[in-house]
A = this chain, B = another copy of it.
Amino acid sequence: MIRILSSIFILNLASAFCSGQDTDPLKYVNPFIGTDRMGHTYPGASVPFGMVQLSPDTDTLPYEVNGSYNRDVYKYCAGYQYADSTIVGFSHTHFSGTGHSDLGDILLMPTTGALQFNPGTSDAPEKGYRSLFSHTQEKASPGYYSVLLKDHDILAELTATTRTGVHRYTFNKGGEAHIILDMAHGIYNDADKNVWTFIRVENDTLITGYRQTSGWARTRTLYFAIAFSGPFTSYGFRDDSPARVYRGFWRRFDQKTNFPEAAGRNIRGHFDFPATPGEQITVRVALSPVSTAGAVANMISEAPRSDFDASRKQAEEMWRSELGKVSVTMMNEGQMTSFYTSLYHTFLSPTIYMDSDGSYRGLDQNIHKAEDFTNYTTFSLWDTYRALHPLFTILQQRSTSDMVNSMLAHYDQSVHKMLPVWSHHANENWCMIGYHAVPVIADAIVKNVAGFDYTRATEACITTARNGWYDGLNDYMEFGYVPDERTGSSVSVTLEYAYDDWCIAQIAGTEELRREFTDRSRNYLNLWDPATGFMRPRKADGSFRQEFDVLSTHGQGFIEGNAWNYSLYVPHDPDALIKLHGGNKRFTQHLDSLFTMYLPDSFFAETEDITREGIIGNYVHGNEPSHHVPYLYNYAGAPRKTHYCVRHIMDSKYLPAPDGLSGNDDCGQMSAWYIFSALGFYPVAPGSDRYDLGSPLVKEATLSLENGKTFTVSAVNQGPLNLYVKKAELNGTRLDRLYITHAEIMQGGRLVFYMGR
């Protein structure tokens, strides 16, 4: 604990924060946070939950090299690494903070001088169309990004509407200008990832087409329409397909120059303009999951004119409206930046996935029409059910019902009758474990979020949880746990199933169902090994696995969390967990050990994606399974240790700098943890109506709720060292409990924390 305390001093006493904070939340968003190393965020432009994420790609790497997974590819999940010095171009789709990836569709890059058709390499950017850039000539704010492309002396600016990316290129020196359209480009790309690409030059300012890929999403197609503010004077295409493509009677035509149709696996195009010095070209790129006609209609409805400034203003207003839902004052500007950047990151995904007319591509690859809801995709549910979706039940209730309806549509279209596990762009990618659409739905039902059919949603949860073929579920239902022989992550899977099942029990309509799923929710007990005090892999014959390393993750029955971290994953019944550990004192000591134990260097050498910066003792904040753990002290009668830990995590793992995130932001989960914790409460078990109290980081925060009410949190005597909550009052009444309820928030009111040392 000594080590932790010292670091708090260093971090928080370094900068004193003066009053007079600006009221515009946009000023405090720094989209570069998380772009260095592990955060996997992107700095580019999008609007809240936008279908377009228009952002620079500094590099992309193949997913495999010589048939093996390319470990370096991981760096480029969001296409951008802050340490890089070149930009390949600007592509229109990016995940925010994921640890596996896809997308990077429809790359545009403006160039000058001789036409170059290949992207070049970061070592020798001059050999390709990419360009050197410098962070000193780069800006990013919500809905806006700009950079000077040094090799071409072009100022590139980006903004976006929900479905349209808008580029403005200023050709400082003029001359022969090209805009490269690289359909071969993509994130987590392989030579064979592109299944097909298709381009039509509709006229001298409009291009349409699509990119079809098979990657993380197995069968994905994204349609686009590109409108230039002025006519190009010539254009051309090259197809560098690795595989032979039938050419046939097309050979009769010169398809390389000014031929308006191109199709093949890996097409690159160029559009040429004679530019006068200082000339600006605005390019609008609308996307659609449905068709090129849909993309054109989306553009007409959202960005009908080539007016970059208008689109930017609109994007900023959308951000101002969403970020303004929380008005906050904090102790210093860095915290303000961390807070609003976190809030910004929480509102990036899930992403809207439908045309402006409500049409969208379903999981069955058919076109559906969203009736009375907005269809969303990018459900990183193993991550986001924990804090992101609970945050939405407070700040984004309408979107929450849209998201649930989107998950139910997915369920209806699923040939398995499964709710999404990790889904994006009309695909289930099956990433990670569990069926965590269930806690999102249960949480929304328990919290009375309106706008979806509770009965239908509950049925979908139950049907999902009974899919015996899925990842050991048959065995789980038979044995009460997933046997070690079945999967390498049998313990993690069992614990998460148990929690998900508890969620179903909270919403089940009959006593019989409640009993069935309450019984299932106790399955974590079947893996508790009293001899070691950890959850432990168990074989089908009932015996525990003998070889068992509580520090390792891989091959130990866990995933993204070792036995120390994952064994605490009983969010729905901490009291029982504490009993297993022998009571409050023993449990508190166990948590203390977790947060303080010294790990040998070999641990970091063997464990992927974990660095000393990302952990506290053996507690790994960069992965999700123990996000609730700091709040478990509350249950053991040691709330001060909760206060201490959460403040320490906020202070050390969320820094207002490009390398400020200690792990993948995971579609906003890491950021949502911060928002909750900074507000002073956290949803330990989504599916219950409780938020556990921690130690707020805000001085004051006001949540403007969609029901018109406001809920204010204030921290009296807040200060860097006053991290302990002496008492808390709700609406003037002292709280004799360590939680507040969802209803208490939604009815509006005032939560006051009295802080001290």
Chain A residues at the B interface, C-beta cutoff of 8 Å: 63-64, 67, 100, 190, 192-193, 195-196, 198, 200-202, 208, 210, 212, 214-216, 218-219, 243-246, 248-250, 252-253, 258-261, 263-264, 291-293, 364-367, 415-416, 422, 429-432, 469, 471, 487
Contact = CB atoms under 8 A, between A and B. Distances in A.
Contact of A415 (B190, B200, B216): B200
A28 B431 CA distance: 61
Report, nearest first, the 5 A-B pairs whose CB atoms are least far apart: A249-B430, A293-B366, A192-B243, A260-B415, A200-B415
A604 to B, nearest CB: 26
A362 to B, nearest CB: 9
Contacts of A291: 365-367
Contacts of A365: 198, 210, 291-292
A193 B246 contact: yes
A686 B365 CA distance: 44
Given A190-B244, A196-B212, A364-B292, A263 B218 contact: yes
A471 B252 contact: yes
A253 B218 CA distance: 14
Given A192-B245, A244-B192, A218 B250 contact: yes
Contacts of A471: 252-253
Contact of A216 (B64, B248, B469): B248
A248 B429 CA distance: 8
Given A196-B196, A216-B248, 7 more contacts: A67-B244, A208-B364, A214-B246, A215-B246, A249-B430, A293-B364, A293-B366
20 contacts: A63-B246, A192-B244, A195-B195, A195-B196, A196-B196, A196-B212, A196-B219, A198-B365, A214-B245, A214-B263, A216-B248, A249-B430, A250-B430, A252-B471, A253-B430, A253-B471, A291-B365, A292-B366, A293-B364, A293-B366
Nearest to A244: B192
A202 B218 CA distance: 18
Contacts of A260: 415-416
Given A246-B216, A469-B253, A415 B261 contact: yes
Given A246-B214, A471-B252, A415 B201 contact: yes
Interface residues of A, dominant DSSP: loop
A241 to B, nearest CB: 9
A190 B245 CA distance: 9
A430 B196 contact: no
Nearest to A259: B469
A365 B249 CA distance: 20
Nearest to A413: B200
A431 B196 CA distance: 22
Nearest to A294: B366
A30 B202 CA distance: 47
A208 B248 CA distance: 30
A193 to B, nearest CB: 7
Contacts of A201: 415
A291 B415 CA distance: 16
Contacts of A429: 248-249
A429 to B, nearest CB: 6
A246 B248 CA distance: 29
B364 A200 contact: yes
Contacts of A202: 415
Contacts of A190: 244, 246
Contacts of A259: 469
Nearest to A367: B291
A203 to B, nearest CB: 9
Contacts of A216: 246, 248
Contacts of A249: 422, 429-432
Contacts of A293: 364, 366-367
A510 to B, nearest CB: 27
A657 to B, nearest CB: 33
A419 to B, nearest CB: 16
Contacts of A263: 214, 218-219
Contacts of A244: 64, 67, 190, 192
B364 A367 contact: no
A494 to B, nearest CB: 16
A239 to B, nearest CB: 11
Contacts of A367: 291, 293, 367
A221 to B, nearest CB: 10
Contacts of A63: 246
A620 B249 CA distance: 24
A219 B211 CA distance: 12
- Which of A193, A215, A365 neighbours the largest number of chain B CB atoms within 10 Å of its CB? A365
A427 B299 CA distance: 26
A218 B251 CA distance: 12
Contact of A196 (B67, B214, B264, B422): B214
A621 B210 CA distance: 44
A364 to B, nearest CB: 7
- Which of A246, A258, A431 neighbours the largest number of chain B CB atoms within 10 Å of its CB? A246
A249 B470 CA distance: 12
Given A195-B195, A196-B212, A246 B261 contact: no
Given A196-B219, A219-B263, A430 B246 contact: no
A201 B216 CA distance: 21
Nearest to A422: B249
Nearest to A254: B469
A482 to B, nearest CB: 12
A473 to B, nearest CB: 12
A196 B487 CA distance: 31
Contacts of A364: 200, 208, 292-293
A218 B196 CA distance: 10
A577 B599 CA distance: 97
A709 B208 CA distance: 49
A431 B251 CA distance: 11
A461 to B, nearest CB: 21
Nearest to A219: B263
A348 B460 CA distance: 47
- Which of A190, A198, A415 neighbours the largest number of chain B CB atoms within 10 Å of its CB? A415
Contacts of A432: 249
